[in-house]
Amino acid sequence: MVIYKATDYKDMSRKAANIISAQVIMKPNCVLGLATGSTPIGTYDQLVEWYQKGDLDFSAVTSVNLDEYKGLSHDSDQSYYYFMHKHLFDRVNINPDQTHVPNGMEPDSAVECQRYEDLIHSLGGVDLQLLGLGNNGHIGFNEPEEAFETVTHCVNLTQSTIDANARFFATKEEVPTQAYTMGIKTIMQAKKILVVVNGEGKADIVKRAFFGPVTPSVPASILQMHNDVTLVGDAAALSKINL
């Protein structure tokens, strides 16, 4: 594993964007695995800035996102589809037909998960997968104790996640209770993995995930078994590991 220590969030975002840019420049028709959440927003902003300067061309890139809430339509501002369009897809020249997010509106989980897994394989797999890290070590929606061998599947959200999301919705009924996510196996099949972390709140889990035992109780710990992982963190997130 290669670890890059950034001074702050802006520096972390720039370093991560550099790695993604290198991938796009070296292989213009690459498949990027993308993540939502707060951590990668600065990375997407940096990519947009370089695109606007004329330094990056996304026209041949294909993307596949990690996850999506089941039951949320594209125009729900809580959907990951909406997030990706807002933060990246609508701001660069990626072909919208070549951007893929699990379809939250497909009610049949088995159908959607198989379709998504087949899609990733038909694209030849993911060249570079971007990941954020959950406070409990989750990656995608793979929560502690998920079997390491899972492919794309439907997860039941924990009550605490459902409760935390409730504030974003007008009624309780609208709050998603399930999500589709790439599994740990799907993620591990990516050729390269880039993990971004920032903030003091992530310092403990960074240490457990990358320097503790490999265990399903810390899903990200499996990344220690991948042969091409880059971790980019700001000083606060990397403060509990010796570099």
Which residues are marked as active site?
A: 67, 136, 138, 143
How near is the Cβ of 170 to ligand F6R at its closest, in Å? 23
141-172 residues labelled b (16+ CB within 10 A) or e (exposed): bbbeebebebbbbbbebeeebeeebeeeeeee
Query: Is 60 or 226 the residue whose CB approaches ligand F6R more closely?
Result: 226
Q: Residue for token digits 């996850």?
A: 67
User: In the stretch 4-43, what mask flags binding to ligand F6R with x, by CB under 6 A?
Assistant: -------------------------------xxxxx----
How near is the Cβ of 65 to ligand F6R at its closest, in Å? 7
Contact 194, 158 (CB under 8 A): no
Instruction: Residue 221: name the closest of 134, 150, 163, 151 by CA.
Output: 134
CA distances from 232 to 7, 47, 221 (A): 11, 16, 16
Query: Is 45 or 57 the residue whose CB approaches ligand F6R more closely?
Result: 45
Query: 39-78: which residues touch ligand F6R (CB under 6 A)?
Result: 39, 66-67
User: In the stretch 78-117, what mask flags binding to ligand F6R with x, by CB under 6 A?
Assistant: ----------------------------------------
Give the binding-site size for ligand F6R (rule: CB under 6 A).
14
Query: Is 58 or 81 the residue whose CB approaches ligand F6R more closely?
Result: 81
How near is the Cβ of 133 to ligand F6R at its closest, in Å? 6
Residue type, 149: E
Residue type, 45: D
CA distances from 133 to 33, 94, 122, 205 (A): 15, 26, 27, 8
List residues near ligand F6R by CB under 6 A: 35-39, 66-67, 132-134, 138-141
